[in-house]
Each structure stands twice: as C-alpha cells, then as structure tokens.
Amino acid sequence: MSFFEYRHGELFAEQVSLSSIAEQYGTPCFVYSRRAFETKWQALDEAFGDHPHTICYAVKANSNIAVLNLLARLGSGFDIVSEGELRRVLKAGGDPSKVVFSGVAKSKSELAFALSNKVRSINIESVAELERVQEVAQTLGVTASIAFRVNPDVDPETHPYISTGMDKAKFGVTMEAAFDAYVRAAQMPNIEVHGIACHIGSQITKTSPFSDALEIVLNMVKRLAAEGIEIKQLDLGGGLGIDYQGETPPSANEYVQSMINGIKAHGVDLPIAIEPGRYISGNSGVMLTKVEFTKHNASKNFAIVDAGMNDLLRPALYQAFHKIVPINEKTTADTATYDVVGPVCESACVLGYDRDLAVEAGDLLAVMSAGAYSFVMANNYNSRRRPAEVMVDGDSTHLIRQRENFEQLVAGETLLPE
C-alpha cells in the first residue's frame, strides 16, 4: 500500500496534495508520510509474532528527529553509527537500552558517550576495537555489553557500494578471527559478551543471502556455546530491499519467517534484533522539485529542475533509479523523453535519464522513494541550501526541518584578521 497516490490527477501524500505543500514550503522539499513509516515498522513488528525481538531502526537512513520520535513512540530501538546519531535518538525520546552501536571506527569519546548512556550493545568490528572498548569501559568503571559484527563472506547480490558482508569489505570480523575474538572478549574484565551481529548489505531483494548469512552465524553461536560462551541476542542487521523500479523484495513476513525458521531449524531459540533502515523509510518519502526550464538539443531533451545531486545524491553515486512523476497529471501536453537534470555544475547532476514526461517550465515533479538515504546524504555543494522536510499526518502537515538559510551556510566560517 502506498501513501502517495493520485486523486483526480493530482498526487497526494495521505490527505494532502503535494502541490499545496510545494506552494507552502517551496521546492526542493522532502515530504514524508507518517502512516507510511508506522505501517512499515508495524509490519515487521507483527511478523515476529511472539518471538522476542527488537527492531533497531537504522538511524542513518533518515535521521530527522521527528521520524525517530514517531518510531520511538511505537517502541522502536535504534541502530546508530555515531555519537551524533545517539544524540538524535536521545533527543527524540528513544530508549538507549534498545540501541545497538555499529561502525568500523568508533572513537574513544563516542564509545564513552555510548557506554555512559548504557546502550544495549557495542557492535565491535575488529579485535583492535575490542581492546579500545575494554580500555574505555575500564576508565569509566563500567561493563560494556558487546557483540562482534561478523563478516560471513556472503554475496548479497546488490550494488557493490552497498555490499558489506564479503571478505573484501572493510566491515566486521572475519569468521576465522571471530571465535578467538570472542574467547579473548570473554576474558576481559570490563566486557560482557551479549550477542552476535551481522549485516551483509542493503537493498537486498531475496531471502537467500540472509539465510546463507544466518546459517554461518548460527554455526558460530553453537561453536561458542560449546566453549561456554553464551550468546543472548542475534542481531541480523538490516538490508531488506524496497520497490524502486518494480523490484519484488520479500515481504516483512517472508523476511522475518525465514529468520525464525532458520533459527528453529538449528534449535537455537534466541531473541532477534534487526536493523532495518530503507525498508521502513525508503517509500515513506518523496522529493518535490520544480521544472525551471526545458532545453532541447539535437539528441537530447532536458528537464532542468531545481533539485540537484546535492539534494539527492543516490542517482549520481550509485546510478540509483528513482521514479520521477508529475504532481499534476496532464492529458494534453506532448510527452517526450527527458533527462531530468539539476542545477549543480557537474555532468553527474542528473536525477533520472530517459524519462518519458509531459513537462514544461513551472511544472512540479515528485522524485519517488526518497525517504531513505536521501535528505541524510544531502550536502551544500555549490553553496546550495539543504531542502526543507515536511511530515504529512492525515490532513495536516508539519515542517520538521526548515530549509537552510544563508547564515547557516557560512556559520562557523571566519575571515582572517586584517
């Protein structure tokens, strides 16, 4: 079910027309649907039934504090990768005892902040990091609850930039090193082994890579148990894909059931944590943009819009496909094939190639599936101000982030003295 639908030829978010949002808040602008976020989160939650679980929403996918707050109200946990993300979670009312902290390069001060806030698990990605966690915990006089993020060397069959669980990736501890790392951790005075974690990649559209990784993780759990090292939580990461372009990823039920079946088949009845980002947020938002000009060369038509690669980086960085649709459907205008390009002075500033559209200057377009890894990756290249973010809730709209202003753009910069 989509919360972005046409009504009488006009695209709506829930009960609000997107053209009215563009008029009120300007473009470019990200628009989210509250019900979309909630529905996705609840689908995962319900799929677990009464199996003990924690949904640790991956903050990196969309970290607006209004989004985090909505999910916290549902009882969500969070997967964080920086002190900044933990501060956002706390500001949004999230419960640190449901937070897992991933990332390959956590600094000492970030670890100290996380330990002081008693997060559920520091997901350690190297033996060197284990030593650092022990040292920071000792200094603070606390015990760090940890998991190792293992790297099962499974191909998630997704874009190479978002594949994280293969041996050539920088992420996680290899399976060969993991056993010894657990044995070492179990001997450390300020470390308590809590779980095992695994995240193999993102935008995964079938269950088999997840099942393959789970199999490897469960074998490790059993090996550790035989050594007297008890794992209390399986953190199976994020990665469930969404429909950008007609993909048919597993449903929440299929995804969760494959995990539960996998652990039952091994006789391992452990609580499960997952770290979904894109599944919850990806199709919960769109980006609105306005056509500034059209331009027609001998071999190309361009729709030049007011949003660029600084606002939505995914097409330029990953050759990612986002549907681009008119906010007001037209029946009369001529359809032509356009490259939808932005204002940034880079040839890569393209939102979509070869799109069949009937557009003219002044028209509004919606770039779909822009709720995940979109605003969070926006930047100020070409001294462009980052867009506004708006949350639709039924028939009301809430500005959840103002468009940046010029003072904010140069805040922190100073001139040299005379």
The residues of the shown chain that bind ligand LLP, judged by CB under 6 A, are 58, 61, 79, 102, 162, 164, 199, 202-203, 237-240, 275-279, 314, 318, 373
**Cα–Cα distance measured from residue 60 to residue 399, given in angstroms and rounded to the nearest whole number:** 20
Cβ proximity to ligand LLP, 182 vs 279, nearer residue: 279
Q: Which amino acid is at 49?
A: G
CB of 171 to ligand LLP, least distance (A): 7
Cβ proximity to ligand LLP, 16 vs 196, nearer residue: 196
CB of 85 to ligand LLP, least distance (A): 11
Helix/strand/coil for 176: helix
CB of 12 to ligand LLP, least distance (A): 26
Element spanning 377, H or E: none
The catalytically annotated residue of 29, 56, 198, 345 is: 345
Cβ proximity to ligand LLP, 205 vs 382, nearer residue: 205
CB of 285 to ligand LLP, least distance (A): 13
Strand order of the β-sheet with 16-17 is 4-7, 10-13, 16-17
User: Where do we find the tokens 């010029």?
Assistant: 406
CB of 19 to ligand LLP, least distance (A): 27
**Cα–Cα distance measured from residue 154 to residue 417, given in angstroms and rounded to the nearest whole number:** 56
**Cα–Cα distance measured from residue 263 to residue 270, given in angstroms and rounded to the nearest whole number:** 8
CB of 102 to ligand LLP, least distance (A): 4
CA nearest 78: which of 101, 62, 49? 101
Helix/strand/coil for 133: helix
List of residues 6+ apart from 262 with CB closer than 8 A: 211, 214, 215, 218
Structure tokens at 323: 């549907």
345 as an active site residue: the answer is yes
Q: Tell me whether residue 228 is exposed, middle or buried, using C-beta atoms within 10 angstroms of its C-beta: 0 to 12, 13 to 18, 19 or more.
A: exposed
**Cα–Cα distance measured from residue 241 to residue 227, given in angstroms and rounded to the nearest whole number:** 36
**Cα–Cα distance measured from residue 256 to residue 57, given in angstroms and rounded to the nearest whole number:** 15
User: Where do we find the tokens 């794992």?
Assistant: 231
Cβ proximity to ligand LLP, 303 vs 370, nearer residue: 370
Q: Which residues are catalytic?
A: 345
